[in-house]
């Protein structure tokens, strides 16, 4: 009887040690690329082949060149990314919430085929539609120039349309868990469908709204292929497309300036996570339980 508690204690100790070892390995594995980018940003040699974690004669010259070089409007790119991501996120969130409310609360002909069609279309990657998107936006621009190629409006429309599919399913699944008694009680008191949605249902959707908005913002902020295809003018490009210029030279590749720009471009995402981390965790956990 005395050996059993000792064996249990030893097994718990061994399990705790293995968990700590695994946690340290995962932390080092995840933080090493960040440390490498920081090292490259302060490395004046501009050579990733012989990169050291702590470079010799380190300086902030790469940041200075990034900010002061008039040929590469970095902060214009950063502003473009923030504007495009913010507007597309708000538009996606508005349309997604309204569509999910209709699919969740109303019964109409073609409801199930529409839901299945949205899921089927979402299963195909956006890369397959690059040529079609380019052609559509070009033809729209021939009629409405401010919605065509090299316009942020056209890019926002593409982002908003591509992000609504899966988000509608997520929002609908969350909304289905809200009791219909709330709607019926409000209708008995004379409330309209819009009043039920705006005053009763929408406040209950805050956790999933925060999660979808953050995921949509990050997805559009870091997107490269569609933005590179639809935006060719340098002053209209987003920050991810603009940073690619520093590494696309035939003879020279400015890896140090690229690393400096990548660090600055990552600041908005870091700030969002720090401010909304409680809401993100709460929305994910509540969504997993409710879904």
Question: In this structure, what token pair is assigned to residue 146?
Answer: 């401010």
pLDDT given at position 290: 44
Provide the pLDDT for residue 82: 95
Looking at the structure, tell me whether residues 151 and 275 fall in a common domain.
Answer: yes
Residues 83 and 40 in one domain: no
pLDDT at 124: 77
Same domain, 108 and 212: yes
Give the domain-ending residue among 14, 38, 62.
Answer: 62
The low-confidence residues of the chain, meaning pLDDT below 70, are: 1-6, 48-50, 249-252, 279-291
Q: Are residues 118 and 27 in the same domain?
A: no
> What would the pLDDT profile of 257-288 be if each residue is shown by its tens digit?
889 999 999 999 888 888 877 766 655 555 44
271 and 244 inside one domain: yes
Q: Tell whether 219 and 120 lie within a shared domain.
A: yes
Output the pLDDT for position 282.
58
Say whether both 221 and 242 belong to one domain. yes
Q: How many angstroms separate the CA atoms of 291 and 287, rounded?
A: 6
Q: Are residues 208 and 276 in the same domain?
A: yes
Q: Which domain holds residue 92?
A: 68-290
Shared domain check, 241 and 100 = yes
Same domain, 88 and 8: no
Question: Does 213 lie in the same domain as 156?
Answer: yes
Q: How far is Cα 126 from Cα 30, in angstroms, rounded to an integer?
A: 28
SS3 content of the chain, % helix, strand, coil (to 5): 80, 0, 20
Q: Which of 62, 81, 110 is the last residue of a domain?
A: 62
Task: Count structural domains, the chain.
Answer: 2
The CATH number of the domain where 196 resides is what?
1.10.3720.10
Q: How far apart are CA 242 and CA 239, in angstroms?
A: 5
Q: Which long-range contacts (CB under 8 A, 24 or more apart) does 107-110 make?
A: none
- Is 255 within 8 Å of 48 (Cβ atoms)? yes
Give, in order, the Cα–Cα distances in Å from 23 to each of 19, 20, 28: 6, 5, 9
SS3 for 51-107 is CCCCCCCCCCHHHHHHHHCCCCCHHHHHHHHHHHHHHHHHHHHHHHHHHHHHHHHCC
CA gap 140, 147 in Å, rounded: 7
134 with 9, same domain? no
């Amino acid at each position: 009887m005395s050996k059993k508690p000792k064996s249990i204690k030893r097994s718990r100790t061994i399990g705790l040690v293995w968990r700590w070892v695994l946690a340290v390995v995962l932390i080092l594995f995840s933080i090493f690329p960040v440390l490498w980018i920081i090292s490259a940003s302060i490395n004046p040699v501009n050579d990733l082949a012989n990169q050291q974690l702590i470079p010799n004669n380190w300086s902030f010259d790469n940041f200075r060149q990034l900010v002061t070089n008039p040929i590469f409007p970095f902060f214009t790119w950063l502003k473009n990314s923030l504007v495009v991501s913010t507007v597309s996120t708000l538009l996606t969130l508005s349309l997604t919430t309204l569509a999910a409310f209709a699919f969740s609360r109303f019964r109409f002909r073609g409801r199930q085929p529409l839901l299945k069609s949205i899921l089927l279309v979402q299963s195909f990657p956006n890369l397959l539609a690059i040529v079609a998107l380019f052609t559509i936006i070009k033809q729209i621009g021939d009629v409405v120039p401010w919605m065509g190629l090299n316009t942020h409006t056209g890019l926002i429309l593409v982002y908003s349309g591509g992000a609504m599919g899966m988000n509608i399913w997520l929002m609908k699944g969350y909304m289905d868990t809200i009791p219909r008694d709330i709607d019926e009680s409000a209708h008995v008191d004379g409330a309209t469908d819009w009043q039920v949605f705006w005053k009763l249902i929408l406040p209950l959707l805050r956790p999933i709204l925060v999660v979808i908005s953050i995921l949509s913002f990050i997805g559009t902020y870091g997107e490269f292929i569609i933005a590179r295809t639809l935006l060719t003018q340098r002053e209209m490009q987003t920050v991810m497309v603009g940073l690619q210029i520093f590494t696309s030279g035939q003879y020279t590749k400015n890896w140090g300036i690229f690393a400096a720009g990548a660090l600055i471009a990552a600041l908005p995402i870091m700030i969002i996570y720090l401010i909304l981390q409680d809401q993100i965790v709460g929305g994910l956990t509540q969504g997993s339980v409710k879904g």
